[in-house]
Amino acid sequence: MNSETHTEPKRATKPLRVKVDPSLYSWAAERSRLGLDELSDRFPKLSEWMAGHRSPTLKQVEDFARATGTAIGYFFLAEPPDEHLPIPDFRTVGDRPVARPSGNLLDTIYQCQQRQDWYRDYVRSSGMRELEWVASLQPNTPPEDAAQRMRSALSFNVQQRGADYQEAFRVLRQRAEELGVMVMVSGVVGSNTRRKLDPQEFRGFALADRFAPLVFVNGSDTRAAQIFTLAHELAHIWLGESALDSVDLGARATNDIERWCNRVAAEILVPLQEIQAEFNPRVGIPTELQRLARRFKTSRLVVLRRLHECKFLTWDEYQQTFQTEYEQALERVTGTGGDFYRTQPARVGTTFAQAVIASTLEGDTSYTDAFQMLGFKKASTFYELADRLGVT
């Protein structure tokens, strides 16, 4: 008697669906600065999820989290979290505080804080002492005196700046790092070129620390504005205060600390007495802007601001000219691409990159941690970057 073997047909496995509170979709969309219409194009069932008529699969939630730059765990909460900025917020739009911080901004600050924590432990274990110049100035220090002390410490007098303001920016960044400041310039979150930072949300921030001060400059902003932002954030470090800033050259700061930092930054780049002596009122403003920008190795926008502060321009005249100059500067904004081995040290800071590589080669930091902190995944990239930075 022959026996027959019967095989049961496989049952289709139903996808795992996840119950998500509808308010979390709107919250994630807002913090990502993506419109619901744009997200609906990518997730056709979004309106049904938000109405509670349908639940997404786990993979769909993961995709939505990735698209909005949101940690997946947030979607399992009962309601949206109340996220607070971890540093003082000096940004304003007119007289009003700015809106809820985006996920891109928060993630950038958190990432920089993690780098700062690592670097603080690194320099302290290396026997380095506190930086005495951090918090050596006070808000009642005359801006002219503060700027002179900072210029001297940074070796950043006009004749020491190079050929133009772009080279001057490089010099200022290098001199700040030589003093012990980690300077990071990036227009994206980490190395993710899909998560661009919006200069309208913030232009920079400072994380004050006596061992590991850090300055971040939004690389999506105009090159003309970045040098002023860097000088402004360094003023915060000299005060010993962390801060998140809009650093808007075209607006009047409403906060006393911001006004002080603006005045110090402007004085560092374009000393008031020198521009008063240099300015020729018989020549048209556009011609003088070009000449004085070359003279002081700074941007036309900074020179324009100083001409207003010298009362060579009324506020209305300044605003009108500023808008034209800023629009032209926007057209010159470059992308975040280019040679990885040049852009990545700028994104994470040359000082930080060299420290991580050295610590890894010495066996004190794992390669996994180093790759995560430096923003890549390959050992070949690590060794090439080490060679480019002269760390062996």
What's the whole-number average pLDDT of the chain? 89
43-60 tens-digit pLDDT: 999 999 998 888 899 999
Residue 134 CA to residue 130 CA, distance in Å, equals: 8
Find the range with the poorest average confidence among 7-16, 199-208, 238-247.
7-16
pLDDT band at residue 91 using 50, 70 and 90 as cut-offs: confident
Average pLDDT of the segment spanning 193-206: 92
Residues 6+ apart with CB under 8 A from 368: none
- Residue finishing a domain among 243, 271, 299: 271
pLDDT band at 207 (very low <50, low <70, confident <90, very high): very high
**pLDDT tens, residue by residue, 293-328:** 999 988 888 999 999 988 898 898 898 888 888 888
Residue with tokens 């975040």: 336
125 shares its domain with 228: yes
Among 4-13, 147-156, 188-197, 351-360, name the one with the lowest average pLDDT.
4-13
- Nearest 5°: phi and psi at 17? -100, 150
Decide which of 326 and 372 is more confident: 372
218 and 267 together in one domain: yes
Over 80: is that where the pLDDT of 354 sits? yes
Tell me the percentage of the chain whose pLDDT exceeds 70: 93
Q: Are residues 215 and 350 located together in one domain of the fold?
A: no
pLDDT of residue 12: 59
Q: Is residue 122 part of a domain?
A: yes
Give the containing element (helix H, strand E) for 383. Answer: helix 379-388
Task: Answer yes or no: do 176 and 128 share one domain.
Answer: yes
- Structurally, how many domains does the chain consist of? 3
Does 216 fall in a domain? yes
Band (pLDDT 50/70/90 cuts) for residue 8 is: low
Band of the pLDDT at 125, cuts 50, 70, 90?
A: very high
Residue 377 has pLDDT above 90, yes or no: no
**Confidence grade of residue 392 (pLDDT, cut at 50, 70, 90):** confident
User: Does the residue 285 lie in any domain?
Assistant: no
Domain that holds residue 358: 340-388
**Each residue's pLDDT tens digit, 219-249:** 998 887 899 999 999 999 999 999 999 888 7
129 with 219, same domain: the answer is yes
Residue 365 lies in a domain: yes
d(CA 334, CA 267): 27
pLDDT tier at 36, thresholds 50, 70, 90: confident
Q: What percent of the chain has pLDDT over 90?
A: 61
Q: Write down which residue in 240, 271, 302 finishes a domain.
A: 271
Do residue 40 and residue 164 come from a single domain?
Answer: no
Mean pLDDT of 116-132: 95
Q: What is the pLDDT of residue 193?
A: 87
Residues 179, 99 within the same domain: yes
pLDDT at 291: 93
Q: Are 105 and 253 contained in the same domain?
A: yes
Question: If pLDDT is split at 50, 70 and 90, which confidence band does 336 have?
Answer: very low
pLDDT in tens, 158-181: 888 888 888 999 999 999 999 999
Residue 185 has pLDDT above 70, yes or no: yes
**CA 309 to CA 79: how far, in whole Å?**
49
In a domain? residue 302: no
Out of 44-58, 71-85, 91-105, pick the least confident.
91-105
DSSP string, 30-58: HHHT--HHHHHHH-TTHHHHHHTS---BH
List the beta bridge partners of residue 207: 214
Q: Are both 264 and 123 inside the same structural domain?
A: yes
**Cβ within 8 Å of residue 85, ≥6 positions away:** 101, 106, 109, 244
Task: Among 271, 289, 317, give the residue marking a domain's end.
Answer: 271
Residue 163, pLDDT score: 83
Longest dimension (CA), the chain: 116
Query: Tell me, what's the pLDDT at 218?
Result: 96
Residue 293 lies in a domain: no
Domain shared by 54 and 113, yes or no: no
- Whether 181 and 124 share a structural domain: yes
Residue 227 belongs to a domain: yes
User: Are residue 118 and residue 207 in the same domain, yes or no?
Assistant: yes
- The Cβ-side half-sphere exposure at 154, using a 13 Å CA radius, reads 31
CATH number, domain with residue 39: 1.10.260
Report the C-alpha gap between 56 and 49 in whole angstroms. Answer: 7
Q: Does 296 reside within a domain?
A: no
